[in-house]
Every structure is written in structure tokens, then in C-alpha cells.
Amino acid sequence: MSNRDVRGGIGALVCLVALSFLFPALARGGTEAQIKLEQAKVQFSAQNYQEALGLLDAVVAEEPENAEAYHYAGLCQLGLDKPEAAIPLLTKAAELKPGDAGALEDLAWAQVMSGKLDDAIASADRALGVNPSSEPATLYKAQALMGQNKFGEAKPLLQKLEGSATYGQAALYYEGICAANLGQMDQAGGYFQRAAALGPDTELGKKAAANVSALEAGGVAGQAKPWSVRVRLLYQYDTNIVPVNNEDFLPEDVSHQEDGRAVLDLDARYKFVDTAEGNAYVRYGGYSNWQFRENSLNIMYHRGELGGSRDLKAGPTVIRVGAKAWYMVNYLDGDLYSNNWQATPEATFIWSRELRTRLTVDEAGETFDDPGEDDNDRDNTRTIVSIQQHFFLADGKVNTWIGYGYGAVNASGDNYNRVDNLGHAGLMASLPRKSVAALIYRYEYRDYPDSAFDRREVRNTVNASLQVPVYKQLSAYASVVYMSVDANLEQLEYERWIYTLGMMADF
């Protein structure tokens, strides 16, 4: 959506009301459509886009050739983050007032947002034909060219806007993106520094500063690195390392419940496909802990993952379809303990910037080196179907979600067959100074319908964490996890607190 203010929206309505008192005959001379148009402008200025659209529909019904009504209707659709719906309205507005560059500028922006880059360039050129000094048209044409990877053609257009009071910061930021993609890293850093200096607290200013840091760390500014690595070194204190209160239910011999441990984990990812339409990646995860007393419970695992996704358009909605699969080998005290695998097809419906719905189906399996015998054989496969509803607030800085899952475990031994009902909710927030806080709750109801013990459990898990940058890629990390199990078998009930403190590095 362009940055043009609505000229005379509120003022026109105030004048109209005043004239109705001072000159009743004149007020009666105005059409109902004109009155509704002025009311729609006021609603648009207040960002009440749906209310404005209702009024504008009435205007168009009375005056089908009212270009201004089509133009404002298109702007309302842009305000609702529906560029596909805005395009025909802005196209009609441009047809009805061919001498006005404004509708063509906004049409170009809607086409950029919709990924119709050739159309956006054509609309921007038409706007520049009407007004050769049009700054919005120049910016939108440059952005469309960048979307086509024509960074060398976009850069001269952006240079024309460097002195613009409205678009100067955006021009410098995107010049930095162009320079980085052309391999001109020194120039890119200079552009980003200048963009950040023009407004360090704006979104573009923050992105520019982040890209300066990315360049200093050897990354490519404005373009996600094909690889990422996260390493954590942590201390954990666990109030109950024994999963149940009766060691007879475990394959390990445990004599203490409380213990501290050191933890080292690694998460590395490489995207071998990364385009505007989708991506594909490989990923490795490794984990190892060292118990201070109960070293027979030292755990290590290696996990490999392959995944990817692709975005599909369904009108104004984006459907992100994808899949991932992983395989993991677990070791206990240096010996093979179990193998896990999982395959997950998924689909995410991106209704708007604020609203997403995610559907997943997990097909998984687990085999144990010592699975147990007969009814106590723990080797299993499982299926879980889940739905998550995400709400992105505060311009995407806060991600909240709630979800439900239903699953079934089919084990080799009857005592481990079960049915799961899963509920979860969470909140992840970006805080000042690039800190990140998260709060996650998980509820599980497990029913073992074939168990000889008529076993049922309710599990609750709450996890609160905070990540605070310390120096460049280095951050401090802290978390608290509370777990509880209520079961109809008393020996299976327990509570557990895990306190974590340490450092993490992102590359």
C-alpha cells in the first residue's frame, strides 16, 4: 500500500456537515453517493477497512463510473492484506482516470505484493509516463525488478530516491540488498549503515542494522544464508531424573532422583533450494549430556532430517504445502538404546499476515535395543493428526497459538498400545534488544486400552524460556520446565522441575 495520506477525508466530512446547517439547499443538492464516499474516506483513515468497503459498494451501485470509489476500495483491500482483490478495483480506477498517476502507483504496489512482477513493471511505467517524477512508481518498479533478480537494473532507480524525504530510507535499504546480491559487500554495508542512521527505530532501520551485523559475521545481507548453525552449552538441574517412582518400570538401575548435568547440543541446517516459491533443506541435530552423579543416564543422540515446502496461491490465500522426514539414533551410557523415525506431511493456510492455520500428520516409529518381551514389548509405530491456529500480533513480533492433536500408538506388546489426546498452546515474543521470550503449555491424556493394568495418565508440561543477546552471535539462555504425571497407577505418578542456564551461539 502506498504511503499517500488520504487528502481531505476528515476535512471534507466536517465541511459537508457545516454546509448542511448553513446552506440546506446546497446540502440537499449533494447525492447520497457523494455523502457515502466522504464517510468511506473517514473510515479508511481510521483503518476501518470493512466499514469503508460497505460504504464504497453503495457508492459504486449508484455511480458505476466513480473512479475515486474504486480507488479507495482497492486501497481498503490492500489495508486488509488482500492485494489480489485490490488489483481489479485499482485497474478499474486507473481506466476511469487515465490522467491520474495515483491509481497506477497503487496498482503497481498491489501487483508487487501479489507476485505479478511483469504487470507491476508495466503499471509503474504507465504511472511514470503520466508523472515522470513519481517516487512511488520508481520504488515499486525497482522492487519488481528485484523480485526478478534484476538487481543491476533496480539499483539505478533506487539511487534516484536517495534524497526523498518519504522513500529515502527504503531506497538505501534496497540498494544495500541489490549491492549484496551483486557481490558488492562493501557498498552494501555502506547503504545499510546510511539507511539505519535515517531512522534506527523504524522497521527498515532495524532490518538495516541487522544486515550490517550479518555482513560483519560473513553472511549475505538481505538474503537468508543457505546455512545456519546453533550451538548451546548448558547447565541443567533436574529435580527428578527418574521418569517413574518405581525403578522396576525402567530398564536402567537408578539410585538417585535429583541430579545436575552438562548439556551440549548442535542444530545445523543447509537449504539447497531457496526461492520465493519454496525451499528444501537438510538438517542435523546432535545432543549429549553428562550427569554429575548418575552417569548411567548419560544420553546422546544423532538426528538427520530432510524437508521442504512450496507456496501455492488460492486467491488471496497462500497454501504452504510441505513435508519432512527424520531418523534418529539414541545412545544411553554409550550403548545403543533406540532408533526413531518420523515422516510428516503438512499444510499451512496463510489467510493474512496475522492469521495462519497449520495441519500436520505425523507417521512415526520407535524400536528399542532391549524392547522387552511379550506384552511388555515397547517397539511401536504411531500416527498423530494435529491442527494449530496461529495468531501473529504486534506486526509479527508476537506469535501465539493453540492446537489439538489426536493419535494412536500401535505397539508390539499390548501393555504399550495407547490412544493420545493432545492439547497445546504457546506464546513467543520478540523483545527489545533482539531478546526472545517463550511460554509453552502441553496437555496429554494417554489411555492404554489393552493394558493389563487398565493404565491411564494425564501429563502437563509448562516451559518458559528467555534468550538475551550478549555479544554478536552469542546469547544467554535460561529456561524453567515443570512436568507432572497424574495416573491411576500410583507408582507411575511424579513431578519434575528442570532448570536450565547457559550460552548459545547462532551462526
SS3 117: helix
With bands split at pLDDT 50, 70 and 90, how would you rate the model's confidence at 217?
low
Q: What is the mean pLDDT of the chain?
A: 86
Alpha carbon distance 179, 151 (integer Å): 8
Q: pLDDT at position 492, please?
A: 78
**451: closest CA among 486, 495, 419?**
419
Number of other CB atoms surrounding residue 323 within 10 Å: 15
Q: pLDDT at position 117, please?
A: 93
The x, y and z cell numbers of residue 228, run together, are 545456519
Look at residue 455 and tell me whether its pLDDT is greater than 60: yes
Most confident of 104-113, 206-215, 394-403: 104-113
Q: pLDDT at position 253, please?
A: 42
The x, y and z cell numbers of residue 304, run together, are 538427520
SS3 32: helix
Domains parsed from the chain with CATH numbers: 9-216 (1.25.40.10), 233-506 (2.40.160.40)
Overall average pLDDT of the 222-228 stretch = 66
Look at residue 249 and tell me whether its pLDDT is greater than 60: no
Look at residue 97 and tell me whether its pLDDT is greater than 70: yes
Q: What is the DSSP string of 209-278?
A: HHHHHHHHTT--TTS--SEEEEEEEEEEEES--SSSS-GGGSSS----S-EEEEEEEEEEEEEEEE-SSE
390, 401 contact by CB (below 8 A)? yes
Look at residue 247 and tell me whether its pLDDT is greater than 70: no
For the ranges 78-87, 101-110, 115-124, 212-221, which has the lowest average pLDDT?
A: 212-221
Look at residue 458 and tell me whether its pLDDT is greater than 90: yes
Q: pLDDT at position 276, please?
A: 62
> 211-247 burial string, b = 16+ CB within 10 Å, else e?
bbebbeeebbbbeebeebebbbebebebebbbebeee
Alpha carbon distance 188, 155 (integer Å): 11
Cα angle for residues 461, 465, 469 (degrees, 5° grid): 165
- In this prediction, what percent of the chain has a pLDDT beyond 90? 56
Cα angle for residues 390, 391, 396 (degrees, 5° grid): 115
Alpha carbon distance 259, 237 (integer Å): 6
Express each pLDDT in 423-439 by its tens digit: 999 999 988 877 899 99
**146: closest CA among 136, 137, 135, 157?**
157
Backbone φ, ψ for residue 161 (5° rounding): -100, 5
**265: closest CA among 293, 295, 229?**
229
Express each pLDDT in 360-405 by its tens digit: 999 999 999 888 888 888 899 999 999 999 998 886 778 999 999 9
308, β-bridge pairs: 280, 323
Number of other CB atoms surrounding residue 292 within 10 Å: 11
Choice between 25 and 95, residue whose per-residue pLDDT is larger: 95
Express each pLDDT in 117-158 by its tens digit: 999 999 999 999 999 999 999 999 999 999 888 998 999 999
